[in-house]
């Protein structure tokens, strides 16, 4: 099965590209598993997925730092901008501008103290993370700060787990050698996940008081 | 651990709700209607079900500029048409009498026209909408709070959420807004959920932020034991709303106005599951029992619901007091001198001191030994009545009594049980009051 991937690499397609494309179904499956079985909600599929791949481009250390800076600046700006009563899109544009400035400041600091890993990071990954700020700010206004913080932590948790999975050498080799088995397996698992009607792990905790109260009919 | 897993199968989780109940029961078209508050109201009004009045509608920015603010009364709610989970709702409960006449929000903050305009702009842009698409803002009447709930509620609109499946209410909870929920009743915004016994409409257990509580926050008001007024009417209304909405599984929100009575405030196509915690009772079993039932009329649905899922309050009461809860009419077994049992219906009368039995019945049973005579002051003046001694069984308890013998041949019941013989019981006047005279005659015959 691996001859197709081998052929592509021989013809000059970067190996990393092939592996990342094949990793996508695995990461999506992990996120689906997290939602359906464990009960980690996060911000849908897109946000944790894109953050995972952004982390790959920047490295976990800088990725997390940039992510947290983006969130903090975004939230701060939301509070500041709220007092000048603006329409949604211009308001969001101002928040994005502030976040972009903050990232610029991070790069300035990186250049000043000679952090090679940071200043050579792919800018597209960081740009994508910046655009996520809209989603975070929207959740803050819609569902309140508390919910937004919980969802953010869950998203980050998912992304870090996915990052570890994607960077595992063993899985990388597996994906490269058996690309179709991996995709086939992912589809099967997702069909099963989509039919799963049992409780999510988080719901065992959520409903613990009710479960304690339930009386089984035929018990000795 | 194993029994914990086994027990947990009775809980309805989100996965099972979506896959087993929402998808197969609810058509997309019906869901779209329920997600659209204005459309829902239109459909409910057409079916002449009670709904909240609209004060004004703003579809576009242009309409906002030309909006006549004087139509608004001092108290109202401002809602987005397609809001999700109570987001974007502003509850205004009063207005200051001094210039610039600002309104007072449920959390005590002041708002003026400019603030409202700003909020409406956000609504129009779709900030609070399910799909983030442009939305409509509307002003709705705020109900007049019931006196009963006044001290429990922090300046908001309490409502009753009833989950209706297949024309049968399966679970209900009272949702009380708190200070932190800024006047809204939604649980994940910080409201209190109080479980309601479907049979009687009496509240049972309460949760706040996922934790069990006994008292309303910052007060010493007990949350359990509240009697929701017009309970049957509320259940009936919930079923009617379900039938009209064509959603086979939904949450119906009903508010009670002090003057107008129960009003349908919202329909919810994806009802939350924490109602199970508020009731300390799992949903999955109840839904399974209702699945596939053919319910002919709303009243039948009310009956099924009350019979199947009610009665927990009574059990709790019986457990606590050690006394049996009986209704106004109860089957009774009178024991004659040979030890034979004669079954009939008795009226429970806490207004009477002694039990009274019909003279014809005592003849029939051979209970003729008069113990003594006693003078009684009745509505007909002073009279002397004979007293006899015998035993009866009421709700599985043996009671020996000294009862008056009276001519009750013109009365519906041959025996009334007075409070002297009711010391082992609690009387609930709302229990089995529906005993028809035909059913009584049938019982007498047998």
pLDDT higher than 70, residue B319? no
In this prediction, residue B434 has a pLDDT band, given cuts at 50, 70 and 90, of: very low
Q: What is the pLDDT of residue B432?
A: 58
* B430 and B385 both lie in a single domain: yes
CA distance A210 to chain B (A): 5
User: In the numeric block, which tokens belong to residue B409?
Assistant: 């041949």
User: Which residue from B178, B254, B159 is spatially nearest to B221, judged by alpha carbons?
Assistant: B178
Of B431 and B396, the structure prediction assigns the larger pLDDT to: B396
User: Which residue from B330, B320, B350, B358 is spatially nearest to B423, judged by alpha carbons?
Assistant: B350
Of B261 and B218, the structure prediction assigns the larger pLDDT to: B261
Chain B positions with Cβ closer than 8 Å to A: 3-4, 6-8, 10-11, 13-16, 19-20, 84-85, 87-88, 114, 118, 121-122, 125, 127-128, 132, 188-189, 210, 212, 274, 276-277, 280-282
- Span A99-109, pLDDT tens digits: 999 989 988 99
Mutate to test the interface with A, among B2, B4, B15 (most CBs of A within 10 A): B15
pLDDT higher than 80, residue A54? yes
Contacts of B302 by beta carbon, 8 Å cutoff, 6+ apart: B169, B232, B235, B236, B239
Predicted-complex ipTM score: 0.77
* B190 and B269 both lie in a single domain: yes
CA distances from A84 to A80, A87, B104, B142 (A): 8, 10, 22, 30
- Span B270-294, pLDDT tens digits: 898 989 999 988 999 899 989 888 8
B16-33 mean pLDDT: 86
* Contact in structure between A163 and A55 (CB atoms under 8 Å): yes
% of chain B at pLDDT higher than 70: 91
Count of the separate structural domains present in chain B: 3
- Span B78-110, pLDDT tens digits: 988 887 767 788 888 888 887 778 888 877 788
pLDDT higher than 50, residue B403? yes
* Contact in structure between B304 and B293 (CB atoms under 8 Å): yes
* Contact in structure between B55 and B141 (CB atoms under 8 Å): yes
pLDDT higher than 60, residue B435? no
First to last CA, chain A: 56
Q: Is residue B6 part of a domain?
A: no
Q: What is the pLDDT of residue B138?
A: 92
Q: How far is Cα B69 from Cα B113, in angstroms, rounded to an integer? A: 8
Taking an 8 Å cut-off on Cβ atoms, the answer to whether A213 and B121 are in contact is no
Interface A–B counts its CB contacts (< 8 A) at 77
Taking an 8 Å cut-off on Cβ atoms, the answer to whether A209 and B280 are in contact is yes
% of chain B at pLDDT higher than 90: 18
Taking an 8 Å cut-off on Cβ atoms, the answer to whether A207 and B8 are in contact is yes
In this prediction, residue B312 has a pLDDT band, given cuts at 50, 70 and 90, of: low
Q: Mean pLDDT, chain B, as a whole number?
A: 84
- Span B220-242, pLDDT tens digits: 788 888 888 889 999 999 999 99
Q: How far is Cα A165 from Cα A170, in angstroms, rounded to an integer? A: 9
Q: What is the pLDDT of residue A209?
A: 84
Q: What is the pLDDT of residue A146?
A: 79
Q: What is the pLDDT of residue B440?
A: 54
A216: chain B residues, CB-CB within 8 Å: 3, 6-7
* B167 and B271 both lie in a single domain: yes
* B163 and B271 both lie in a single domain: yes
- Span B125-176, pLDDT tens digits: 877 776 667 889 999 988 888 888 888 877 777 889 999 999 999 999 999 8
* B200 and B106 both lie in a single domain: no
Q: How far is Cα B316 from Cα B225, in angstroms, rounded to an integer? A: 11
A209: chain B residues, CB-CB within 8 Å: 212, 277, 280
* B294 and B177 both lie in a single domain: yes
B10: chain A residues, CB-CB within 8 Å: 211, 214
CATH code for position B439: 2.40.70.10
Q: How far is Cα B78 from Cα B91, in angstroms, rounded to an integer? A: 7
* B82 and B165 both lie in a single domain: no
B325-346 mean pLDDT: 84
Of B372 and B255, the structure prediction assigns the larger pLDDT to: B255
In this prediction, residue A220 has a pLDDT band, given cuts at 50, 70 and 90, of: very low
A199: chain B residues, CB-CB within 8 Å: 8, 11, 13, 15-16
A210: chain B residues, CB-CB within 8 Å: 11, 276-277, 280-282
- Span B359-374, pLDDT tens digits: 888 888 877 777 788 8
* B256 and B360 both lie in a single domain: no
Taking an 8 Å cut-off on Cβ atoms, the answer to whether A216 and B212 are in contact is no
Domain boundary among B142, B166, B188: B142
Nearest beta carbon to residue B128 from set A142, A147, A216: A142
Which residue from B minimizes the CA distance to A199?
B13
Mutate to test the interface with B, among A197, A200, A215 (most CBs of B within 10 A): A197
Q: What is the pLDDT of residue A219?
A: 44
In this prediction, residue B210 has a pLDDT band, given cuts at 50, 70 and 90, of: confident
Of A191 and A15, the structure prediction assigns the larger pLDDT to: A191
In this prediction, residue B437 has a pLDDT band, given cuts at 50, 70 and 90, of: low
In this prediction, residue A201 has a pLDDT band, given cuts at 50, 70 and 90, of: very high
Q: How far is Cα B348 from Cα B388, in angstroms, rounded to an integer? A: 19
* B189 and B282 both lie in a single domain: yes
In this prediction, residue B378 has a pLDDT band, given cuts at 50, 70 and 90, of: low
* B26 and B156 both lie in a single domain: yes
* Contact in structure between B386 and B326 (CB atoms under 8 Å): no
A181-203 mean pLDDT: 92
Nearest beta carbon to residue B19 from set A85, A197, A200: A197
Domain boundary among B74, B108, B142: B142
* B177 and B33 both lie in a single domain: yes
Mutate to test the interface with A, among B6, B14, B114 (most CBs of A within 10 A): B14
A33-37 mean pLDDT: 92
pLDDT higher than 80, residue A142? no
Q: What is the pLDDT of residue A191?
A: 95
Q: What is the pLDDT of residue B85?
A: 66
Per DSSP bridges, beta strands B397-406 and B329-335 are: unpaired
A27-33 mean pLDDT: 93
**Which range of residues forms the domain containing residue B197?**
11-52+143-321
* B32 and B70 both lie in a single domain: no
Q: Is residue B3 part of a domain?
A: no
Q: How far is Cα B352 from Cα B344, in angstroms, rounded to an integer? A: 19
A206: chain B residues, CB-CB within 8 Å: 210, 274, 277
Domain boundary among B300, B321, B342: B321
Taking an 8 Å cut-off on Cβ atoms, the answer to whether B210 and A206 are in contact is yes
Chain A positions with Cβ closer than 8 Å to B: 36, 85, 87-88, 138, 141-144, 147, 195-200, 203-204, 206-207, 209-214, 216, 219
pLDDT higher than 70, residue B317? no
- Whole-model pTM: value is 0.72
């Amino acid at each position: 099965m691996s001859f197709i991937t081998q052929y592509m690499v021989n013809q000059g397609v970067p190996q990393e590209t092939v592996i990342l494309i094949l990793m996508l179904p695995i990461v999506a499956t992990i996120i689906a598993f997290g939602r359906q079985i464990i009960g980690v909600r996060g911000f849908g599929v897109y946000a944790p997925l894109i953050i995972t791949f952004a982390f790959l481009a920047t490295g976990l250390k800088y990725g997390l730092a940039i992510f947290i800076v983006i969130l903090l600046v975004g939230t701060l700006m939301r509070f500041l901008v709220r007092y000048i009563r603006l329409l949604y899109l211009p308001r969001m544009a101002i928040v994005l501008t502030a976040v972009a400035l903050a990232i610029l400041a991070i790069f300035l600091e990186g250049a000043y103290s000679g952090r090679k890993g940071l200043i050579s990071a792919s800018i597209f990954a960081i740009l994508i993370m910046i655009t996520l700020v809209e989603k975070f700010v929207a959740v803050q206004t819609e569902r309140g700060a508390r919910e937004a913080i919980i969802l953010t932590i869950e998203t980050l948790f998912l992304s870090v787990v996915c990052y570890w999975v994607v960077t595992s050498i063993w899985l990388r080799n597996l994906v490269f050698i058996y690309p179709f088995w991996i995709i086939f397996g992912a589809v099967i698992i997702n069909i099963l996940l989509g039919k799963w009607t049992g409780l999510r792990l988080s719901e065992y905790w959520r409903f613990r008081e009710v479960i304690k109260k339930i009386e089984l009919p035929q018990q000795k | 651990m194993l029994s914990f897993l086994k027990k947990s199968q009775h809980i309805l989780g989100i996965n099972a709700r979506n896959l087993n109940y929402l998808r197969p029961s609810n058509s997309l078209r019906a869901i779209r209607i329920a997600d659209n508050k204005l459309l829902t109201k239109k459909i409910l009004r057409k079916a002449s079900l009670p709904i909240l009045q609209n004060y004004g509608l703003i579809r576009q920015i242009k309409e906002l500029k030309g909006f006549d603010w004087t139509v608004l009364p001092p108290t109202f709610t401002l809602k987005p048409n397609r809001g999700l989970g109570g987001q974007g709702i502003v509850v205004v409960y009063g207005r200051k009498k001094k210039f610039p006449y600002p309104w007072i929000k449920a959390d005590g903050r002041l708002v003026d026209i400019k603030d409202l305009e700003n909020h409406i702009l956000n609504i129009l842009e779709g900030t609070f909408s399910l799909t983030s698409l442009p939305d409509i803002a509307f002003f709705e009447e705020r109900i007049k709070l019931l006196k009963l709930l006044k001290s429990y509620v922090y300046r908001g609109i309490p409502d009753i959420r009833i989950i209706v499946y297949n024309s049968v209410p399966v679970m209900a909870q009272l949702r009380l807004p708190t200070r932190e929920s800024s006047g809204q009743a939604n649980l994940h915004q910080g409201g209190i959920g109080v479980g309601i016994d479907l049979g009687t409409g009496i509240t049972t257990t309460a949760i706040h932020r996922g934790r069990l509580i006994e008292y309303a926050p910052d007060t010493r008001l007990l949350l359990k034991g509240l009697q929701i007024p017009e309970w049957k009417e509320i259940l009936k209304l919930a079923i009617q709303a379900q039938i009209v909405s064509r959603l086979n599984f939904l949450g119906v929100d009903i508010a009670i106005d002090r003057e107008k009575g129960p009003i349908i405030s919202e329909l919810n196509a994806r009802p939350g599951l924490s109602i199970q915690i508020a009731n300390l009772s799992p949903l999955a079993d109840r839904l399974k029992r209702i699945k596939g039932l053919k319910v002919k009329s709303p009243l039948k649905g009310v009956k099924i619901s009350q019979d199947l899922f009610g009665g927990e309050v009574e059990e709790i009461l019986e457990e606590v007091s050690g006394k049996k809860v009986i209704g106004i009419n109860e089957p009774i077994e009178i024991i004659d001198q040979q030890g034979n049992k004669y079954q009939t219906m008795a009226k429970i009368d806490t207004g009477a001191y002694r039990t009274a039995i019909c003279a014809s019945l005592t003849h029939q049973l051979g209970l003729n030994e008069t113990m003594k005579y006693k003078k009684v002051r009745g509505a007909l003046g002073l009279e002397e009545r004979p007293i006899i001694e015998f035993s009866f069984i009421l709700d599985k308890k043996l009671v020996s009594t000294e009862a008056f013998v009276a001519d009750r041949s013109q009365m519906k019941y041959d025996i009334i049980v007075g409070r002297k013989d009711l010391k082992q019981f609690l009387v609930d006047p709302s229990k089995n009051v529906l005993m028809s005279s035909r059913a009584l005659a049938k019982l007498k015959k047998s």
